[in-house]
Amino acid sequence: MGEENEKKVSIAILGAGGVGRCFLQQCAKILPQYMNVSVVLIARSNRSLRVPTWNHVLSLETWEKDLAASTDPALSPEEIYEWFRTTENEIILVDNTSNQDIAAFYPKFLKDRVTVVTPNKKAFSSDLGLWQSIVNSSYPHDPDGGFLYHEASVGAGLPIISTLKDLLETGDEVQKIEGVFSGTMSFLFNNFAPIEGKGGKWSDEVSKAKDAGYTEPDPRDDLNGVDVARKLVILARMVGLQVESTSAFPVQSLIPKELESCTSGEEFMERLPAFDDEMEKVKTEAADRGKVVRFVGSIDVARKAVEVGVKEFDKGHAIAGLKGSDNIISFYTKRYGANPLIVQGAGAGGEVTAMGVSADMIKAIKDVHGWMIVR
């Protein structure tokens, strides 16, 4: 037992900007609490920093300077995989990228008992076959596979994935999932169609959201609804629906057809005010019925129906009462009846997303330590 306990846990981190940077800052506070756990690789798209031997560790105090000074090129998934095979250490791969090539390699990592921690939505919402392969290659589906954690793939640091897993694993029957899954869309609609007051013009609210950093550099990447659709695909697959992709169900885009061909985000924003009347009509018609509009996603399990788009809500509804950029997800189940289990809070931002990844990493460290003793 003593010899087994001397084995080390090595953490390889892909992605060091945005969420990755926040995650590494959190690691500097978290990892000193754990014995025999260290970071051995930090990589970004254009360069990498790794230990010269498996007995070395990377500094979490000087990693940014060290990575900038590194002349080592980026590593392909295959190169990373082959490098992992040169050690007896237990490996935790933390993938903070949105890289499809890395996601496609998850099954191979997992089959080689590498634990995977990631917020990468593409891994779980693109090809159905890939998703099935990832799940089937991980523990406990494969008793010899690595552990898999992806809490932050839906709702950043909110406990959405873990809550759904708990409901399913304890035998509850999930009937419907509905909510606001985008911090960007939450901010937009809470200001465009508030419960009290008139709200601003649609283009003005989009501009405010962009200036506040809530949207992508090109707001069309948020307004097309695909980000929300990816999250719905992940949850739908978890409850047993065989959803092929985001194109397999209705996804409402808020990009006027005339602006789909804009060559830049700047051009889109310049031309958007000409279409304010369309969104104003949607808001006014809802207000005339005493309701407000919100951009939501829903999964009706019995009907096997998934939808993303604008929907009207009574002003007293929990979804209507959101503030700021909060997300809210309601789980309607057999046990909870008419009163859904609700998860609500900040669902976007580097710090909270990194927190979700960090929490998964801590679970992984504990599971891997147990694995080293038992297995």
Give the integer Cα–Cα distance in Å for 304 and 176.
Answer: 10
Q: Where are the beta strands (DSSP E) in the chain?
A: 9-14, 37-43, 48-50, 90-95, 115-117, 148-149, 174-180, 291-300, 305-314, 326-333, 341-346
Q: Which helix (H) or strand (E) holds 282?
A: helix 276-288
Conformational region of residue 197, where left means phi above 0, alpha means psi within -120 to 50, and beta covers everything else? left
Half-sphere exposure of 230 (CA within 13 A, CB side): 20
What DSSP assignment string belongs to 71-122? -PPP--HHHHHHHHTT--SEEEEEE-S--HHHHHTHHHHHHTT-EEE---TH
Give the integer Cα–Cα distance in Å for 344 and 155.
Answer: 9
CB 272 within 8 A of CB 206: yes
What distance, in Å, lies between the first and last C-alpha atoms of the chain? 11
Among 231, 315, 334, 363, the active-site one is 231
* H runs (alpha helix) in 290-349: none
Give the integer Cα–Cα distance in Å for 167 and 163.
Answer: 6
Give residue for tokens 């090129």.
73
231 catalytic per annotation: yes
Q: Which helix (H) or strand (E) holds 370?
A: helix 350-374
- Helix-strand-coil split of the chain, %, nearest 5: 45, 20, 40
Active site residues: 231
